């Protein structure tokens, strides 16, 4: 006979608690309930448990709260009205750094809680999630502490609380507690422990909190790793060198920056020479008071600058700006950010330094340096001094970059401040998937239980160090999620390092076409389904026909697609060198459009290309060597950029199109002719007439700003005609955009405005980069759509 003793006692206990509940209800006249609430989202390391404690206490409720693996579990008990109010205010009044994504509520039998308490964290990871909060900018309260001479945090550069400071870059595992971070190397002193344990303190359970008596310290180091000065003395050394025009390596939250005085032309030139970065724009750290002196700033741009994410924001440079021209040569916008660490605040404070170039600590093309040892080894020839610290950074995280587009942030690089935040998806699958993204501006993504996590910006995988970083970050993130992918989703390009990485793994593979992924990513963000037109413009993507696509009009959904239009194909001789030497693209266009005999000699003189070089290229073109067949909008903008700027060589991806964009004057109304052609069975946007007009205008001496604007307007108008023709042909009025060419503000603005005037709404991605930095999201969107449910 089975032993039922335990069941009898349990049922007796339940009956006893039920009796107590009825007694309380008779005494109070109100129904009493016990509910368990699971709170999912960014709710660890952001002061959420102290907030819950204070709210429950205020409402006279009893129970417990604790971090349970990837979520926060709350047992809440009391009157039904108060419990409902508690749940409502959880969402309405949560700490600013928290983000509640889901509340899962169940009613349980009454328990005799006598008070409300914060319980120790547990490691229940049955449903793991990346619930670590992002690294957030120093808050106003902590800034006030740093400026207060009577505060023990006075001028302490690592001051933080539950609403600010590092999180993601110092977390080893879940749950997010001090002992699972690199802050476990710094035991709290008695005053800090008192704050940490005090419910009334904003540092209550702030895992990164410390002061000058118990926390990390600034260190001024020599090349051999010898610590020459510490604390304030180290800071003084750094300021002296910066004022003297030297290059200083400054360790921050997610890695090391190389800093110089942004007003010193020779210092900027010295940094460029050492970093091997001749022209790519450099980001500038500014005092808030200095921003309006140097840039034109809208209200929305200010909001982004001062947000807790504290990204680099692209701002229009004022004509009277006294920043060194070498900061962003040939560009109309500057990448500007406000201080987000105490170290940056102190560097700018009371020193005569108001604008500092703060660019990634690396040789151009390599990943960000983030450890003390690597800083001393890899930056020894770049920096004149090292302002470092002894708080270990576990993973490098670059600064995020955005531009405000029609009042909304358009992410160009999603990293610090935004990761590891995830995206909920409407469709769920039990399969665990890893999407490896593309090769340029790489970011990978993971899919688990209805949520996608997009990694920080990794970089360009052709660099061996970056590929090693990519591999390590994939392994770490999978480990944190306790996840072994069941399938790896990849781009179709067989030469991509990301594709080769996928093929070396043991899991089944799932290939997704590059431009379909761009389209699906935007559809997923906007919750779109059904037939959609995707206008995808980028530098290159492997097409279904084995050619290089990049100026595409697709019709489809997240499940499948059809190519209904594109740019006129161009045969490119020179392979990848065309992207680095766009003069080659100019002569490819001349040959393929039948303009060689009329314009080749003039173009060679204009771009200062040797006759020997043009003869070799002509010979290859006339040999009918197949080369690459491309419909890339990026290569077309390379060609126009080379011609208008008279620069035949690009030092970084997109340089000449960016210079071309900077020349645009919206007051100029002229436009070149981009014609529609459907003779090949699909809609094509033909640029032959536009190139004839561009050559003629340049030869006639028309100002470069007029030529640049006419090219932009003409291309935009042609693209609108192409899209609207497809709308008429298909009856589909749902349009999305994607691809790096859409980073061009004039092209995006004019396209969206023109289609809106025709009653067609264009969806633009805002949660993740419009370039290849968001393509892994699209890969998972396609994978999800193709799963049985």
Instruction: Report pLDDT digits (tens) over 289-339.
Output: 999 999 999 999 999 999 999 999 999 999 999 999 999 999 999 999 999
Taking alpha carbons only, the member of 243, 461, 467, 255 closest to residue 361 is 255
Confidence (pLDDT) at 120: 87
HSE value, Cβ hemisphere, 13 Å, CA-based, for 84: 6
Please, is 484 exposed, middle or buried when counting C-beta atoms within 10 Å of its C-beta (0-12, 13-18, 19+)?
A: exposed
Contact in structure between 323 and 333 (CB atoms under 8 Å)? no
Residue 43 has pLDDT above 60, yes or no: yes
The residue with greater pLDDT, 140 or 128, is 140
What is the spatial distance between Cα 148 and Cα 311, in angstroms, rounded to a whole number?
27
| C-alpha span between 708 and 712 (Å, rounded) | 6
| pLDDT tens by residue, 351-380 | 789 999 999 999 888 999 999 999 999 999
> Which two structure tokens, joined as six digits, stand for 397?
């995280």
- pLDDT at residue 161, rounded to an integer: 96
The first and second tokens of residue 685, run together, are 């946007």
Write down the pLDDT at residue 126: 62
pLDDT at position 489: 98
Contact 489, 781 (CB under 8 A): no
Work out the percent of the chain whose per-residue pLDDT is above 90.
83
SS3 644: helix
What is the signed CA dihedral for 27, 28, 33, 38, rounded to 10 degrees?
Answer: -130
SS3 content of the chain, % helix, strand, coil (to 5): 35, 20, 40
Confidence (pTM): 0.92
> Mind listing the pLDDT tens digit for each residue in 389-399?
999 999 999 99
What pLDDT is stored for residue 129 in this prediction? 64
pLDDT value at 760 more than 50: yes
pLDDT at residue 561 greater than cutoff 80: yes
Q: Is the pLDDT of residue 288 over 60?
A: yes
Are 456 and 419 a contacting pair, CB within 8 Å?
Answer: yes
Identify the pLDDT of residue 13.
43
Contact of 545 with 570, CB cutoff 8 Å: no
Give 23's pLDDT tier (boundaries 50, 70, 90): very low
Number of other residues whose CB lies within 10 A of the CB of residue 191: 12
What percent of the chain shows pLDDT beyond 70? Answer: 95
What pLDDT score does 29 carry? 67
Find the range with the poorest average confidence among 28-32, 603-607, 709-713.
Answer: 28-32
Distance in angstroms (rounded) separating the CA atoms of residues 170 and 393:
6
- What pLDDT, on a 0 to 100 scale, did the predictor assign at position 485? 95
Mean pLDDT of the chain: 93
Q: How confident is the model at residue 28 (pLDDT cuts 50, 70, 90)?
A: low
Q: Residue 657's closest CA among 585, 719, 720, 589?
A: 585
As a whole number of angstroms, the distance between CA 166 and CA 393 comes to 9
Q: Bigger pLDDT: 13 or 66?
A: 66
Q: Which pLDDT score is estimated for 125?
A: 56
Peptide bond into 420 cis (omega under 30): yes
Q: How far apart are CA 735 and CA 537, in angstroms?
A: 13
Tokens of 256: 């090391």
Whether the predicted pLDDT of 22 surpasses 60: no
Secondary element (H or E) of residue 296: strand 295-296
Residues whose CB is less than 8 angstroms from the CB of residue 362 and which lie 6 or more positions away in sequence, other chains included = 275, 368, 369, 378, 379
The DSSP 8-state label assigned to residue 351 in this structure reads: S
Q: Given this model, what pLDDT does residue 3 score?
A: 39
- Of the CA atoms within 13 Å of residue 158, those in its CB half-sphere come to 28
Q: Answer whether residue 7 shows pLDDT above 50.
A: no
Structure-token match 């995006």, residue found: 748
Q: Which two tokens stand for residue 516?
A: 């379909």
Q: Which two tokens stand for residue 736?
A: 């999305």
Give the Å distances, CA to CA, from 105 to 13, 41, 48. 23, 15, 17
Q: How confident is the model at residue 25 (pLDDT cuts 50, 70, 90)?
A: low
Query: For residue 331, what pLDDT is reported?
Result: 97
**β strands within 575-693, DSSP E:** 628-630, 675-677, 683-686
pLDDT of residue 11: 37
Q: Which of left, alpha, beta for 60 (phi over 0: left; psi -120 to 50: alpha)?
A: left
Least confident range from 367-381, 422-436, 770-784: namely: 422-436
Mean pLDDT along residues 663-692: 95
- Pick from 75-84, 192-201, 247-256, 639-648: least confident: 192-201
Place of tokens 């440079």: 317
Confidence grade of residue 4 (pLDDT, cut at 50, 70, 90): very low
Paired tokens of 426: 């409407």
Residue pLDDT, tens place only, 185-217: 999 999 999 999 998 899 988 999 999 999 999
User: What average pLDDT does the segment 719-732 reach?
Assistant: 98
Determine which of 49-53, 401-405, 700-704 has the lowest per-residue pLDDT on average: 49-53
Q: Which of 129-138, 301-310, 457-466 has the lowest mean pLDDT?
A: 129-138
Q: What is the pLDDT of residue 769?
A: 98
692 is written with which tokens? 């004839």
**pLDDT for the residue numbered 627:** 81
* Measured distance CA(93)–CA(99) in Å, rounded: 11
- Residue 624 confidence (pLDDT): 73
Please state, in angstroms and rounded to a whole number, the distance separating the CA atoms of residues 463 and 362.
Answer: 12
Tell me the average pLDDT across 234-257.
97
Helix 583-592 vs helix 611-622: crossing angle, to nearest 10: 40
* Nearest-5° Cα angle at 295, 291 to 301: 75
DSSP for residue 457 = P
């Amino acid at each position: 006979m089975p032993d039922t003793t335990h069941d009898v006692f349990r049922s007796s206990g339940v009956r006893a608690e039920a009796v107590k509940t009825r007694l309380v209800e008779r005494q109070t006249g109100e129904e009493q309930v016990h509910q368990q609430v699971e709170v999912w989202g960014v709710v660890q390391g952001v002061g959420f448990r102290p907030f819950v404690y204070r709210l429950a206490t205020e409402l006279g409720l009893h129970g417990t709260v604790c971090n349970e693996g990837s979520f926060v579990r709350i047992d809440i008990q009391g009157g039904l009205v108060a419990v409902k109010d508690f749940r409502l205010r959880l969402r309405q009044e949560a700490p600013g750094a928290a983000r509640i994504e889901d509340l899962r509520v169940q009613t349980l039998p009454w328990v005799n809680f006598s008070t409300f308490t914060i319980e120790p964290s547990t490691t229940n990871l049955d449903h793991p999630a990346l619930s670590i909060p992002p690294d957030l900018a120093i808050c106003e309260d902590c800034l006030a502490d740093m400026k207060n001479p009577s505060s023990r945090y006075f001028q302490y550069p690592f001051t933080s609380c539950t609403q600010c400071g590092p999180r993601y870059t110092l977390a080893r595992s879940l749950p997010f507690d001090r002992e699972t971070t690199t802050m476990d190397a710094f035991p709290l002193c008695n005053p800090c422990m008192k704050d940490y344990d005090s419910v009334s303190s904003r540092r209550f359970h702030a895992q990164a909190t410390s002061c000058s008596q118990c926390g990390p310290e600034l260190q001024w180091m020599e090349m051999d790793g010898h610590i020459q000065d510490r604390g304030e003395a180290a800071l003084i050394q750094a300021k002296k060198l910066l004022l003297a025009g030297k290059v200083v390596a400054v360790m921050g939250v997610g890695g090391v920056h190389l800093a110089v005085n942004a007003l010193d032309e020779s210092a900027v030139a010295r940094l460029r020479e050492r970093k091997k970065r001749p022209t790519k724009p450099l980001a500038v750290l500014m005092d808030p008071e200095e921003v309006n002196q140097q840039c034109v700033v809208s209200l929305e741009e200010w909001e982004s600058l001062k947000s807790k994410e504290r990204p680099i924001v692209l701002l229009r440079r004022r004509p009277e700006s006294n920043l060194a021209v070498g900061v962003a040569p040939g560009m109309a916008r500057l990448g500007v950010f406000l201080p987000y660490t105490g170290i940056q605040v102190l560097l700018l404070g009371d020193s005569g330094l108001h604008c500092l170039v703060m660019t990634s600590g690396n040789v151009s093309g390599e990943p960000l340096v983030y450890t003390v040892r690597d800083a001393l080894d890899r930056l020894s020839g770049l920096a004149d001094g090292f302002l470092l610290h002894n708080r270990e950074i576990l993973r490098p995280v670059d600064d995020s970059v955005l531009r405000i587009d029609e009042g909304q942030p358009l992410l160009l690089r999603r990293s610090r401040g935004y990761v590891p935040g995830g995206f909920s998806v409407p469709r769920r699958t039990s399969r665990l998937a890893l999407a490896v993204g593309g090769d340029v501006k790489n970011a990978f993504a993971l899919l688990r239980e209805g949520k996608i996590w997009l990694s920080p910006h990794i970089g360009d995988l052709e660099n061996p160090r970056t590929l090693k970083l990519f591999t390590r970050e994939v392994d770490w993130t999978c480990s944190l999620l306790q996840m072994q992918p069941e399938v790896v989703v990849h781009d179709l390009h067989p030469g991509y390092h990301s594709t080769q990485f996928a093929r070396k793994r043991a899991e089944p593979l799932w290939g997704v076409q590059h431009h379909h992924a761009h389209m699906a990513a935007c559809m997923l963000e906007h919750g779109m389904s059904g037939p959609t037109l995707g206008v995808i413009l980028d530098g290159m993507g492997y097409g279904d026909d084995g050619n290089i696509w990049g100026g595409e009009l697709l019709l489809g959904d997240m499940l499948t697609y059809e190519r209904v239009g594109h740019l006129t194909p161009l045969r490119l001789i020179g392979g990848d060198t065309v992207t680095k030497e766009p003069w080659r693209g100019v002569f490819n266009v001349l040959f393929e459009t039948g303009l060689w005999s009329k314009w080749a000699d003039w173009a060679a003189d204009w771009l200062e290309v040797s006759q020997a070089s043009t003869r070799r290229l002509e010979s290859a073109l006339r040999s009918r060597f197949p080369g690459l067949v491309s419909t890339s909008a990026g290569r077309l903008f390379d060609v126009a950029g080379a011609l208008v700027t008279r620069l035949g060589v690009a030092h970084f991806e997109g340089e000449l199109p960016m210079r071309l964009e900077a020349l645009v004057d919206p007051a100029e109304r002229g436009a070149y002719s981009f014609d529609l052609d459907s003779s090949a069975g699909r809609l094509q946007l033909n640029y032959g007439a536009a190139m004839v007009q561009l050559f003629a205008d340049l030869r006639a001496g028309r100002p470069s700003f007029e030529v640049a604007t006419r090219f932009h307007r003409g291309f935009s108008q042609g693209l609108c005609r192409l899209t609207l023709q497809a709308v008429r042909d298909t009856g589909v009025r749902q349009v999305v955009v994607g691809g790096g060419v859409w980073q061009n503000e004039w092209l995006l603005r004019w396209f969206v405005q023109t289609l809106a005037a025709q009653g067609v709404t264009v969806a633009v991605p805002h949660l993740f980069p419009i370039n290849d930095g968001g393509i892994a999201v699209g890969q998972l969107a396609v994978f999800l759509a193709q799963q049985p449910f």
